[in-house]
Amino acid sequence: MASRVIPVGPFDLVIFGGTGDLARRKILPALFRRFCAGQMCGDARIISAARAEMDSAAYRDFARSAILEFDDNDACAADNLEGFLEQLSYITLDARGDTGWPALKGALREGPVQAFYFSVGPGLFGDLAERLHKYGIAGPESRIVVEKPFGRDLASAQALNKGLAQHFDENQIYRIDHYLGKETVQNLMAIRFGNTLFEPLWNAQYVDHIQITVAESVGVGTRGGYYDKSGAMRDMMQNHLMQLLCLIAMEPPAKFDPAAVRDEKLKVIRALDPLEPEDVVRGQYEGTDERPGYCDQVENHDTRTETFIAIKARIGNWRWAGTPFYMRTGKRLKARASEIAVVFKDAPHSIFGATTGRHRNILTIRLQPNEGIELGVTIKEPGPGGMRLVDVPLDMSFAEALGPDSGDFPDAYERLIMDVVRGDQTLFMRGDEVEAAWEWVDPIIEAWQEADSAPILYDSGSSGPDDALRLMHKDGRRWREIKT
Ligand code: NAD
């Protein structure tokens, strides 16, 4: 069963920062794949605007090599590429000056949807917003897309929101968290709210705890300069992991629409109990004979930036009081693996006696690799020898259930950019959500800074510091193994 593609109408998409790393690796390949899928109509235009001096022909060469390097979808035939590139043009523009703005105004059409992707550092968001208005380019129907990081604390996030709000209404602002664009994350909502099976069990009475793991096997590589000013709490926990937590924990929204979904997510963040220092473990990876440690990859060798964080979070509401949410994320861990595991409570009484051991239902939502959903159920081990129980996975393989093409779903950027064009904000973060998330993590970051505390060192290729294991052990629980 091939996926159904509904073409979007004509649009002008301006990519500010169109020569940058994000445009090269993600935005351009994502747009190309939507073009190949037949979703971008021939009347769509993509205008890249950045500081570099070049003309549109040179930019098309740049885009061609980016797509050939980063688009790994063989289904996109090479002969599609030239057709796609024809829809691209380039303008040299200075976000902080006057260069390029009149040319940009001249290049845009009246009528089609207008979207402006701010693929530049957050320091330029305010400049771009201001000039889009000063030059009469953006109107009340225009949309802007902003990338992470959205601030580095509550105060800076508020300042960014305020800067954007001077020129754009909230319903024009699309704050990207690409985790929300992942197929499985949306499937999580379909599973929760499209079935009667899970929702009655989705609470503290039946769920023992929830684990969210986003593990990377790579270190910071060449991004040390950026990362050292950020760290795992700001770079991953405050946005991606907290967004996943919201989707797992939120009440059923009345409708699958932007206001209803985002209202429910916000309520979760506001219901989080304040973090206590003993609920948080910070780590930093050490080097091996072959690979340098984090502190050798950044300028400040005494750096106290964390590359790992584990948190025990509690949600103070009727649904979740008593069910902890354990979240961890880190670099240079055992494997690249991200998953959410909903661990249900033991059956209240075992009719099979103590010898059959402990069995639990676990619903696992795998984000990477092999996006998919798995439900662990207990059955009788086949064969003679009495009642022996064994846990087996009910694996929801999209390919088996829906046909071989069903695994070719769009990646997060493809879906999110098309949502911008369609004007659907459901999978984007609202300003108040972002601020509430900073409000929750800020006191812990401030406490580290005040105490000048150093993260605990952990071995590259491990599961993180032992203290993170103890965070669960002391509650009589343990993390699931990080494996690909
Ligand atoms: P980059 O440094 O590679 O590119 C920055 C772009 O901004 C370039 O095209 C540059 O020409 C343009 N630019 C800089 N100053 C300008 C000015 N004064 N006027 C006009 N254009 C100017 O950055 P990037 O890695 O592409 O990141 C862009 C944004 O996306 C950042 O906010 C970053 O935090 C975010 N982001 C990046 C990634 C990634 O994987 N690269 C992932 C998530 C979020």
- Cβ-contact 251, 280 below 8 angstroms: no
Q: What is the pLDDT of residues 311-334, one digit of tens each?
A: 999 999 999 999 999 999 999 999
Tell me, what's the pLDDT at 379? Answer: 86
* Best CA proximity match to 150, nearest among 190, 121, 107: 121
| Residue 234 Cβ < 6 Å to ligand 1 | no
Residue 73: pLDDT over 70: no
Residue 398: pLDDT over 90: no
Q: Is the pTM of this model over 0.85?
A: yes
Neighbours of 281 (CB within 10 A): 24
**Tokens representing 30?**
């994502």
Work out the percent of the chain whose per-residue pLDDT is above 70. Answer: 95
Tell me, what's the pLDDT at 369? Answer: 84
| Residue 120 Cβ < 6 Å to ligand 1 | yes
**How far apart (Å, rounded) are the C-alpha atoms in residues 98 and 373?**
51
Q: How long is the chain?
A: 484
Q: pLDDT confidence of 105, banded at 50, 70, 90?
A: very high
| Residue 94 Cβ < 6 Å to ligand 1 | yes
Tell me, what's the pLDDT at 408? Answer: 64
- Which of 103-117, 130-144, 351-365, 388-402 has the least mean pLDDT? 388-402
| Residue 15 Cβ < 6 Å to ligand 1 | no
Q: Which of 15, 22, 228 to mutate to test the pocket of ligand 1 (most atoms within 8 A of CB)?
A: 22
Tell me, what's the pLDDT at 385? Answer: 79
* Best CA proximity match to 323, nearest among 236, 200, 210, 185: 210
Q: Terminus-to-terminus CA distance in the chain, angstroms?
A: 28
Q: What is the pLDDT of residues 328-386, one digit of tens each?
A: 999 999 999 999 999 999 988 888 877 777 788 999 998 888 788 889 998 888 888 78
CA 281 vs. chain centroid, Å, equals 22
Report the separation in Å between the CA atom of 120 and the middle of ligand 1, taken as the mean of its atom positions.
Answer: 3
Burial class (CB in 10 A: 0-12, 13-18, 19+), 124: middle
Q: pLDDT confidence of 461, banded at 50, 70, 90?
A: very high
Q: Which of 14, 120, 235 to mutate to test the pocket of ligand 1 (most atoms within 8 A of CB)?
A: 120
Nearest protein Cα to ligand 1, atom 15: 51
Tell me, what's the pLDDT at 405? Answer: 60
Q: What is the pLDDT of residues 266-280, one digit of tens each?
A: 999 999 999 999 999
Tell me, what's the pLDDT at 173? Answer: 98
Q: Crossing angle, helix 183-194 and helix 242-249, to 10 degrees?
A: 20
Work out the percent of the chain whose per-residue pLDDT is above 90. Answer: 78
Q: pLDDT confidence of 403, banded at 50, 70, 90?
A: low
Nearest protein Cα to ligand 1, atom 39: 22
Nearest protein Cα to ligand 1, atom 1: 20
List phi, psi (to 5°) of 27: -70, -50
- Which of 141-145, 302-306, 374-378 has the least mean pLDDT? 374-378
Residue 1: pLDDT over 60: no
Tell me, what's the pLDDT at 93? Answer: 98
Residue 404: pLDDT over 70: no
Q: What is the pLDDT of residues 2-54, one digit of tens each?
A: 557 888 889 999 999 999 999 999 999 999 999 998 998 778 999 999 999 99
CA 26 vs. chain centroid, Å, equals 13
Ligand 1: nearest atom to the Cα of 24: 26
Report the separation in Å between the CA atom of 119 and the middle of ligand 1, taken as the mean of its atom positions.
Answer: 5
Tell me, what's the pLDDT at 431? Answer: 98
Residue 168: pLDDT over 70: yes
Strands (E), 112-241: 113-118, 143-146, 173-175, 207-215
List phi, psi (to 5°) of 405: -80, -10
Strands 456-458 and 325-330: unpaired
* Best CA proximity match to 418, nearest among 39, 47, 80: 39
Where is 127: in which H helix or E strand? helix 125-134
For the segment 147-174, the average pLDDT, to the nearest whole number, is 96
Q: What is the pLDDT of residues 51-62, one digit of tens each?
A: 999 999 999 999
Tell me, what's the pLDDT at 275? Answer: 95
**How far apart (Å, rounded) are the C-alpha atoms in residues 100 and 92?**
6
Rg (CA), the chain: 24
**How far apart (Å, rounded) are the C-alpha atoms in residues 213 and 326?**
8
Name the H helices within 314-403: 398-402
Report the separation in Å between the CA atom of 176 and the middle of ligand 1, taken as the mean of its atom positions.
Answer: 14
| Residue 54 Cβ < 6 Å to ligand 1 | no
What average pLDDT is seen over the chain?
A: 92
| Residue 230 Cβ < 6 Å to ligand 1 | no
Give me the residues paired with residue 15 across strands.
48, 117
* Best CA proximity match to 138, nearest among 146, 148, 128, 124: 128
Report the separation in Å between the CA atom of 295 and the middle of ligand 1, taken as the mean of its atom positions.
Answer: 25
Residue 396: pLDDT over 70: no
| Residue 19 Cβ < 6 Å to ligand 1 | yes
Name the H helices within 18-55: 21-22, 28-36
**Sign (positive or negative) of CA dihedral 222, 223, 226, 228:** negative
Q: Which residues are catalytic?
A: 240
- Which of 117-121, 242-246, 378-382 has the least mean pLDDT? 378-382
| Residue 22 Cβ < 6 Å to ligand 1 | yes
Report the separation in Å between the CA atom of 421 and the middle of ligand 1, taken as the mean of its atom positions.
Answer: 21
Q: pLDDT confidence of 401, banded at 50, 70, 90?
A: low
Tell me, what's the pLDDT at 7? Answer: 87
Tell me, what's the pLDDT at 185? Answer: 86
Q: Which of 19, 93, 119 to mutate to test the pocket of ligand 1 (most atoms within 8 A of CB)?
A: 119
Residue identified by tokens 């659907």 is 424
- Which of 374-378, 405-409, 434-438 has the least mean pLDDT? 405-409
